Amino acid sequence: MKKNKTSRAWVHDHLNDPYVQRAQADGYRARAAYKLTEIDERDHLLRPGAVVVDLGAAPGSWCQIAVKRCGPKGRVLALDLLPMEAVAGVDFLLGDFTEDAVLEEFERRLDGARVDVVLSDMAPNLSGVATVDQARSIHLCELALDFAVRHLKPGGQFLVKVFQGEGFMAFRQQMESAFASVQVRKPKASRDRSAEVYLLGKGPRQT
């Protein structure tokens, strides 16, 4: 009964969410478009001609923003476990980022290119057990960080969604070891009650 009430409340909030309504009006696939837009306007991640990787891309609103801002000379490569309707200008791979074969295929598509920006909005399939879900989430963040460190250009940037809780501070310390600067971003389109924040790493340290 409680679960049904919670679901109904979520649907009500979602349908009345101004960012959901705005996304529908603007032609974006999800309200998350405005999270990336706000961060990009502040931190200038997406530039014409940039090579961008979008991890956890479905349904594709971040890809829509990246293609628009990087222009015809840019490259956007995206990956997700969930299917994503094609976005013009995006090279999308359907697969599980945690599987070596999928990661190898994704890296092959880079064709040796160094990346300007790695975006990760990945989240695990929720089990309902908070400690398990948090551990899985942090693991995905660590995998994304490893990818970013290996593929970013000098001066590149890494934006990753992290849920505050067990393991958050340890992951932040990993990022601080890997980047010259790390900043926390909580865009307005991120719901206040959500534990999500975004960590932005700038300037990979040379290993």
- Tell me the per-residue pLDDT of 26-57, one tens digit each, with 9 for 90 and over: 667 788 999 999 999 999 999 999 999 999 99
Backbone angles phi, psi at 51, to 5 degrees: -100, 120
Would you state the pLDDT for residue 29? 72
Quick one: tokens of 149? 């460190």
Choose the catalytic residue: 153, 161, 186, 202: 161
Mean per-residue pLDDT, 126-140: 92
Mean per-residue pLDDT, 177-204: 93
CA distance 89 to 79: 14
Residue count of the chain, please give it: 207
Would you state the pLDDT for residue 115? 98
CA distance 196 to 7: 20
In the predicted model, is pLDDT for residue 78 greater than 60?
yes
Would you state the pLDDT for residue 30? 80
- Burial of residue 202 (CB within 10 Å: 0-12, 13-18, 19+) is middle
Task: Output DSSP code: residue 97.
Answer: T
Q: How confident is the model at residue 8 (pLDDT cuts 50, 70, 90)?
A: low
Mean per-residue pLDDT, 122-149: 94
Would you state the pLDDT for residue 81? 95
For residue range 88-116, list pLDDT tens digits in order: 999 999 999 999 999 999 999 999 999 99
Would you state the pLDDT for residue 206? 77
Architecture in CATH of 29-204: 3-Layer(aba) Sandwich (3.40)
Q: Among this protein's residues, is 153 annotated catalytic?
A: no
Would you state the pLDDT for residue 10? 45
Would you state the pLDDT for residue 9? 55
Q: How confident is the model at residue 190 (pLDDT cuts 50, 70, 90)?
A: confident
CB of 123 within 8 A of CB of 56?
A: yes
